Amino acid sequence: MEEAYIVAYGRSPIGKGRQGGAYYYERPEDIAAQVLKGVIARVGSSFESQMIEDIVVGCSIPENMQGMNIGRRIALRAGLSEQIPGQTVNRFCASGLQAIAIASNAIMAKQADILVAGGVEFLSTTTFNNPEMTNNLFLEENGRHLSTSMGLTAENLAEKYCISQADQDQFAVESHRKAYHAQVNGRFEDEIIPVQVKNVKFHEGRPYVTEMTFKEDQGIRSDTNRDQLKKLPNVFKQGGTVTAATSSQISDGASFVVLMSSSKAKELGIQPIAKFMGYKVVGVEPDMMGIGPAYAIPKVLDLVGLNIEDIDLIELNEAFAAQALAVIKHLGLNQNIINPNGGAIALGHPNGATGSILTARLLAEMRKQSQSKYGMVTMCIGGGMGAAAVFEYIRHKSDLNGAYDRG
């Protein structure tokens, strides 16, 4: 069996997914194409884009602006050869990670040598359709509550695991604190691909459009504190504990990795960055959606033959503070190795792109932490699921704390 290696990675800065967000006047494939080109450019001079055999793109709402196989549109918009196909996959919040797993599995099965995988989600341009259109009466009447809002599933976990609003507020404050510290100290620079965006201002009802470079995540609030957060109302349940500040931000973003077989990387003289070791998805009770990672993590560790103590860094998607804390409490995880640079509460959660964004964030941080070897990306998934993947970082003498540059 072949081994699948990541040889390049990168992500866009994350924008607020609403009016006033950096991408509000952009099309998803236009921004994603810039990120894709930036990631491909990082592979190295011996690599040519026509070597790519497929583009696999995760997207949790492949409809409207993100419909009609956006994976193919991104490939063409990036100027890649018409002979390079593209596909779009949907596993809600794990879509980007699922795309990486699909591409890795194809390489390991010797069906391909070079693939690109990642994700895109622009919630400012592609909103959710009315969920009532898809509700199934039989499932709802027989305890399979797929219509339960994500916020209520977080409330359910807060109650089951005795997680107070104060606990959640403190978690949110820490997420912003860590993210702000990482941003001002340049810890995201290795993973971010700056993009050109439209800056639209109106005067007397007429738009004036200029172009600007967007290069920093937009959702971080440096002044977040517990005194502010404890005054916020709960938003999902009367008498509940979950607030807007302890929920992940609605966001826009894109991210990609280039994956290559071990034999092809050796042939081209390209240094691998990390090896894809394994991936697992599990199902859980839909009303307890957020606990999914607590069951996916043991399964993927068993698959790759590791223990939780072997894992040096974990990127756990912060769908909600209550949800993340429930997973940590359920497994007794070491919080010191989880989300060292903040999570989705501060940085945002562009659903279908999150898995690949977290992969880029994990690898960038592992490069800086010279003793780290095994890293994990994990998240809960709408509908009552959880996913987790394990990566092994490959050390090279050139791995220093400078900018990431494999070119």
List the structure tokens of 11.
């992500």
* pLDDT value of residue 50: 97
Residue with tokens 């081209």: 268
- For the question of residue 380 being annotated catalytic, the response is yes
All residues at 6 or more sequence positions from 186 whose CB lies less than 8 Å from its CB, including other chains: none
pLDDT at 67 over 60: yes
- For the question of residue 203 being annotated catalytic, the response is no
* pLDDT value of residue 131: 65
* pLDDT value of residue 127: 72
Set 59, 93, 145, 176: catalytic member: 93
* Mean local confidence (pLDDT), 56-74: 96
Residue percentage of the chain with pLDDT more than 70: 96
* Mean local confidence (pLDDT), 278-292: 97
* pLDDT value of residue 354: 98
* Mean local confidence (pLDDT), 375-392: 98
d(CA 101, CA 258): 12
* pLDDT value of residue 402: 46
* pLDDT value of residue 405: 53
Tens digits of per-residue pLDDT, 178-206? 999 999 999 999 999 999 999 888 888 88
Set 59, 145, 176, 349: catalytic member: 349
* pLDDT value of residue 407: 41
* Mean local confidence (pLDDT), 128-139: 76
All residues at 6 or more sequence positions from 247 whose CB lies less than 8 Å from its CB, including other chains: 151, 154, 235, 319, 320, 321, 345
Residue with tokens 């918009």: 77
Tens digits of per-residue pLDDT, 19-64? 889 999 999 999 999 999 999 999 988 999 999 999 999 999 999 9
* Mean local confidence (pLDDT), 302-312: 98
Q: How far apart are the first and last CA of the chain?
A: 28
Set 59, 145, 176, 380: catalytic member: 380
pLDDT at 232 over 80: yes
* pLDDT value of residue 129: 62
